[in-house]
Amino acid sequence: EYVHDFSKQYPDLDLSLVDVDSRDGVFKSETYSVMSYPAMIAIADDGSTIQRWDNGQMPLKSELAYYAQ
């Protein structure tokens, strides 16, 4: 629901969703030390973490949009 609402409010921005049960999802979860779900991580082009939200704390959509630009 959050991602759907975000996409409607910010149609020009793209969020990448990761299925933690997939091979890629397991790799990314380990790479970014994701221990609880849901989690959101803003990642720079070089792969470094810019910002993260986890433990059930989701960002405001406007805050996420700032990092998604």
Give pLDDT tens digits for 12-68.
998 888 998 999 999 999 999 998 888 999 999 999 999 999 887 889 999 999 999
What is the DSSP-derived secondary structure letter of residue 59? P
Q: Which amino acid is at 39?
A: A
Per-residue model confidence (pLDDT) at position 1: 85
pTM metric for this prediction: 0.80
CA distance 35 to 14: 24
| End-to-end Cα distance, the chain | 21
- Cβ atoms of 42 and 51 within 8 Å: the answer is yes
Task: Calculate the CA 23 to chain-centre distance.
Answer: 17
